[in-house]
Structure 1
Amino acid sequence: MIGKYIGRFLIQGEDPLMIKAEHCATVRTENTLMHAMLLLTSVGYTSIPVLNEASHLAGVVTMPGIVNGVLEDDNYNWDLLNQRKVRDVMQDNPPSVFDDAKLEDVLRLLIQSNYICVTDKKGLFKGIVARKQILIRLNRLAHEFEINYDVTPVHTSDHGAYELSSMTVNDLKAI
C-alpha cells in the first residue's frame, strides 16, 4: 500500500501522469509495417500502441517485431514493409490498466515496461503512463518531500542517519 502522503506527492507534477491518447504516437492495425517503422523512427521509440478502427487497444508494435515481420527463409524481404500490416506482427495483450486503476498497480507493471497503456472498461484507448513520468516524480520525491512534510521515523535502524545526496553508488552497497 502506498502511503497517503507519498501517493499524493507522486501524483502531483507539472506534467500529467497519464499522457492522453491525442498526444500519444499510435498506429492502426491496418497500417503497413513501413508506416509503423517510419513513425517509430521519427519519434525515437522502440514500441508504440496499436489501435483498431474503433480506437480500442489492440496491441503494441515494436521495431524488432517489424524487422522480424519481413524475414523470409533467413533473408529479409524489405518489399514486405509495404505489404504486411501491423496486425500481422503486433504483440497482443500489452501491459495495460483501466483508467480507474490504483497507482500501485501501475507502478508494478512499470517495473517490466517502459509504458503502460490505459483504457476504459470497454477497451477504448485513453493514453499511456510512461515510466519516465514516474521517475520524474520519484526524483522530485527524493529531493522535495521533506521540504513539504515533517517526517518522523517510526523505527530507528542500525544505520543511523545517512546524507544520501553526497554518497556514491559504491557507498550505497554498504547500506
Structure 2
Amino acid sequence: MISIPKDDFQQIFVKDLMISSEKVAHVQMGNGLEHALLVLVKSGYSAIPVLDSMYKLHGLISTAMILDGMLGLERIEFERLDEMKVEQVMKEDIPVLKLDDSFAKALEMTIDHPFICAVNEDGYFEGILTRRAILKLLNKKVRQHNR
C-alpha cells in the first residue's frame, strides 16, 4: 500500500492546479449548435463550458448532447444545427469547484468526471481542473516518497 503524508496535500488548492479560463475553449448562451459543434471539434474537447455574456458558468455542452438534439424519429435532422441554441441541449446540473476547495475534494470529484469547472465566489468561470492534473500531482508525490 502507498502511504503519502496528509500534510503533502493540505496546502494544495484548486486554484493551484487548474487551467485558467483564458486557455479553455467555451461557448456562450445564445450561440447556435453549429458554432458549439465547431468549437468542440476544433478544440478536440469532448465537452466545454457554457457561459453567459458576463462569463458566469451555466453548464456544459458536448458533442453527444448536440447529436442527441439533432436526432429525429427517423433521421438525423441536420437543419437543427442552425435552429437550436446551446441552452436547449446543454447540461445545467454539473459539478463545480471553488478556487479555494481542497485537493481532497477535487480528487473525489474527478473520479467520476474528466474535468471539473472552477468558479469564483460569485459564480464566474475561472478555469477547469482536469483529472490529468490530479494524477500528475499524485504521481509526483508517490515518486517523491518512493525514493
Query: Shorter-chain-normalised TM-score: which range?
Result: 0.7 to 0.9
Query: Quick one: distance in 2 between partners of 1:131 and 1:32?
Result: 29
TM-score, structure 1 normalization: 0.74
Confirm whether residue 72 of structure 1 aligns to residue 75 of structure 2: no
Query: Quick one: distance in 1 between partners of 2:8 and 2:114?
Result: 25
Contact map agreement 2:29 2:52 (CA 8 A) in 1: yes
1:45 deviates by 1.3
Distance change in 2, residues 1:6/1:58 (3 Å):
closer
Match for 1:119: what amino acid?
Answer: V
TM-score, structure 2 normalization: 0.88
Q: Count the aligned residue pairs.
A: 141
1:49 deviates by 0.8
> What secondary structure is seen at the aligned counterpart in 1 of 2:48?
strand
Show structure 1 runs of 5+ residues with no match.
148-175
From the CA coordinates, give the structure whose radius of gyration is larger.
1
1:145 deviates by 3.1
Residue matched to 1:122: 122
Query: Quick one: distance in 2 between partners of 1:50 and 1:120?
Result: 16
Q: Give the share of equivalent positions with the same residue, in percent.
A: 31
1:7 deviates by 4.3
1:103 deviates by 1.4
Map 1:48-87 onto structure 2 (within 5 A): 48-87=48-87
The CA deviation string for residues 123-154 of structure 1, in whole angstroms up to 9 with x for no partner, is 1011110101111112222222344xxxxxxx
Residue matched to 2:35: 35
1:53 deviates by 1.5
Contact map agreement 2:18 2:130 (CA 8 A) in 1: yes
Confirm whether residue 25 of structure 1 aligns to residue 25 of structure 2: yes
Match for 2:70: what amino acid?
Answer: V
Residue matched to 1:157: none
Query: Quick one: distance in 1 between partners of 2:116 and 2:145?
Result: 26
Contact map agreement 2:21 2:127 (CA 8 A) in 1: yes
Residue matched to 2:132: 132
> What secondary structure is seen at the aligned counterpart in 1 of 2:132?
helix
Query: Quick one: distance in 2 between partners of 1:19 and 1:6?
Result: 19
Consecutive aligned runs of 4 or more in structure 1 exceeding 6 Å deviation = none
Distance change in 2, residues 1:103/1:6 (3 Å):
closer
Query: Quick one: distance in 2 between partners of 1:107 and 1:6?
Result: 11
Query: Quick one: distance in 2 between partners of 1:66 and 1:3?
Result: 42
Match for 1:26: what amino acid?
Answer: H
Residue matched to 2:7: 4
